[in-house]
Structure 1
Amino acid sequence: MKVQGKIFSVVAVLGVAVIVTGAIGLASMNSLNAQMDRLDSLDQQAYFAERLNGAITAVNASNRGITSARNAEESADYLNEIKKNLETLNQSVADWRGVVAAEDMPLFETMARDVGAYGALRLELAEFGAREGAAAGMARLKEPDVRANRQALQKSLSENIDKVRGALDPLRAEKAANYTTAFWTMLASAALALLVGVGIAIWIGTAKMARPMTRVASALKQMADGNLAVATEPKPGNDEIGDLWRTTERFRVALAEADQLKREQEATEAARAAQRRQLMHQVASDFERAVGGIVQGVSAAANQLEASARAMAHSAESTSGQLVTVASASEEASANVQTVASAAEELSASVGEIGRQVMESARIATSAEGSAQQTSSKVERLSVAATRIGDIVGLITTIAEQTNLLALNATIEAARAGEAGRGFAVVAQEVKNLATQTSKATNEIAGQVAEIQTSTTESATAIGAISAVIKDLNGIATAIAGAVRQQDAATQEIARNVQEASRGTGQVTESIETVSRAASDASAASGQVLSAARELSRQSDLLGSEVNKILSTIRAA
């Protein structure tokens, strides 16, 4: 049964209790109303009897007044009073008849006949006394039939009055007793109905609402504390609490799957990070062995080239200063030029090898960049999974808000029920507190999901930085390749100059001037070779520094 149905059940029980109490009160009121009608009838009969008795007394007094009248005028006045009192007498009988119960009517009719006979006789006596005189009237009053008539009326009137009094006192006592009985009956029925209603309300609120909600809250708290093996309700009902149990179970399963996925992703990420670090160290080592050897070769070749240039300059100076030994100097210069040519060819070969190694470094950097992009794609999938978890948390927040709304509705209904709904208000408040705790727990989970998303974003940023470094490394390798190509061109230029010097030494034997010019050319060429050798040495040092930076960056990643 839904929570709304449970609340309606309690209201229905209280309604039935109110109806039963009202029915008992209505029956008691009907009984009291009948007794009040009977009392009212008896009170009216007593009033009419009193008025009838007063009219009889007045008629008797007027009859005696006629017997003592001093003249005809006084007799006429008394006669008029008698007629007036007889009218009151007859009216009292008629009014009394209207309130007499059916079972009392025979006794009343006897009295009514006696009243009629009494009135007719008293009118006759009054007219006789007024006509015959006071003495005759007095004599007539003392006759036996007059006394018998008066006694018969007094008897029937007394019987009716006694009947009224005899019924009035017990009826009043019965009314008081019935009122007391009705009062205590209504009070007891109301108390019993209240106890039954409150008992059922407490039972429904405790056994059907509060305790299940407490178990749900305990399960959610344990789940929030990280205990995903908490036991849920095996057979939840079809009410809102059952829906909470089913939602809690789905939430627990989702959290367990998310936790398992998180552990798997952490393990995968750790393995990938270790593999990536190992790969970076391997790349750095290979690059260091390849490029480092090339740099050392370039540096050695540059040093050798510089030494050769110095030797060539010294030879040119010796040739210019010792024209006397032109032949021998020419032969020595030719030999030196051949040496320089050989060194230039070796330098050109070394520079070509440097270019090839640099291109291989660029290819490795491009491969590392592709691996970084694959890692970034996987991190993005991790972020999407975290977003899905956030969506599940949003669904739980929506359910908590609906539970809060139901608690608010229950609080409103409890407020409408007044005092009887106070227990429902407490239950509704507990439901509302539970919904608030559920909302807080989902907010904490949402915060954890946000931290996961932040971590994945930072990982993506770091991978992007690594990709940028690798791109920079690729650019540096390209720049090095350009520099090597320039060095290759310079080396070829040196070779050509050496060839020119070789041809000049072949012409030394022709003339001193030719030897002098050749010596000057050799001196200039040696200066250029020396400058190129120094530049090559500087660039080889710069290349070594850049290689060290690249290796440091790769190892740090």
Structure 2
Amino acid sequence: MKIRPKLILAFSLSMVTVAIILGSISYYKANNALTEVVESKLLTKATDTAVYVEEKINEELVLLEMLAKLEDIQSMEPEKQRRIILTFVEGNEDLLSLLVIDNNEQVITTSDDSFLDSFAKDVSQKGLSGETFISDVHIDTKLNQPVMYATMPIKKGEAIQGTLLARLDGRFLSKVAQEIDIGETGYSFITNQEGVAVGHANEEFVIEQVNFVQIAKEDAEYEELANLLTTMGTGETGVLKYYFQGKERIAAYSPIHGTDWSVGVAVFQSEALEKIFSLRTVVFTATIILLIAGIAIAFFLGGQLANPLIVVERLGLIVADGDFTNDVPERLLRRKDEVGSIAQAIDSITRNMRDIVSQITSNAHSVASQSEQLTTVTEQSIEAANDVAQSIQEVAEASETQVLSSEESVEAIVEMSKGVQRIADTAIELSEFSNHTTDKSRLGAESVQLAIKQMSNIHEGSNETTELINHLKESSEQVGEIVKLITAISEQTNLLALNAAIEAARAGDAGRGFAVVANEIRILSEQTANSTQEINTLIHEIQSEVSEAVTSVHGAQNEIKKGNSTLQTVGEAFNEILTLIEQVNEQVEDLSAVSEEMSASSEEVSASIEEMANKAKQSSANAQQVAAASEEQLATIDDINSTAETLESMAQELSDLANQFKI
């Protein structure tokens, strides 16, 4: 797989992972936070409701206490007492009747014709024993309605004269519960230790005295509700979720001080967590948008990082194939990073090789042209030598003809000598060019080695970067552990503050100041927990980004290895070029030696012909010697012709070698 798809895939997977993790964490944290807020509000509502109910009950008891302290009541005279209690009953809508009972448990005064059943007698005995008491809801068989009894001792000094027994409307606590406003689906209820409702927004539960704790023993559907009622009966404060009548509900509960009752406030879970459902939609939408943006960024960054490397790789492969016609883009040459260094090295190699190949091609054409001229001269020399041989054969017949032929031979030899000299000069120039070409090739090879060294330095730098990133990852993990410790401390502080608030509430007015301090401590611990959570989130993000950086550095290291391999190939190509140029240089040196031999031979031929001209008159006597010289001349000319053909072949090989490169 190419580097661009790899980078795009890596970035995309990273963004998808980050988006999913962030979305999940955000939803989880927000869900917990909103749940805690809902539970906290419900618990506050339950506590406030318990205080409110307690105040309502105390109001009734305070009125009874005030009534019990009146002298007419303490006189235990029915006539005096009756006038007062009738007025008292008329002014209290929740009071059904009021009775005065003496120490003999006899009703001496009543606001109506009420009688005492066994339940009322038990309550009155508590008053006669000096206890202020309010009973659970009781179904009055005569009235056929729920009633509650409150008793207040009548004391004169320290002596108990009797007791006041107030028969209250059993729906009194239900009315209080109905006054509590808790959202659209919320409601409140009051239960005793047995889990039976003594006050409920739905009065039927109070009238029918339904005991769900007992019902749950036979019907598992009410187990969660029974568990709630049982927990409330222990006098604890807390929050529980339960299932009732086809709905999931959340209830907070708190005890009513001075009684055996507890107040519960409940609301449908769908209403309480409505914002969480909306938040889930928002988080999901935001995650999708983040994913789309992340993938788009991955495509953009992948292209930005991979495109320069792809261009450099393509140029390296083209140069390795001997094609030097492509220029390195200016935008790569202007880069200040490692890619720019490699691009500059390839550009330098390309330019040097263009000059070298151009010079080799030009000199090869020059050598070919000179070899063609040399071939022409040698052919002329051969013809001249044949003429000389013919003149030797006819020397006896015409000396003048022999002299003329000798002169023509001298001229031909002179021309041949000039041609040989030109060949020698060309060979010298070619030798110098070969040396220059060798130097350029060595320079190119050194440039390639420098590029390879730079690639190695880049690879070492990326390894150091990887080590630093791994160290950063370890440090972030240590910070994460510290944050966990702070979170645990803040949670413990919150718990201690909550316990302190509960104890302060139990202490009543005396503990209100301490309750405020405990509440401030709890708020501070919650803020600490939120701050540590945000730090923890940032630590996770840093760890994720460090992992992404490690992956990117590994990918870059693989690409650096590929670039190093390409440069190795280019270096091998330069070594082959250097070897071929050295071979050409050796052949040029051989050509130069042959040219020198031809020049010396032509001078000897010229001297021989001049001597023959001077001794033209003695041509007959020296005909054999002239014939031998002519044969030697023909042999030398053959050597020159052979050398010219060799030179032409070498020029063609040099041209073919240069044509292997494109400039």
TM-score class normalised by the smaller sequence: 0.3 to 0.5
TM-score (norm 1): 0.48
TM-score (norm 2): 0.41
The structure with the greater share of residues assigned to strand is 2
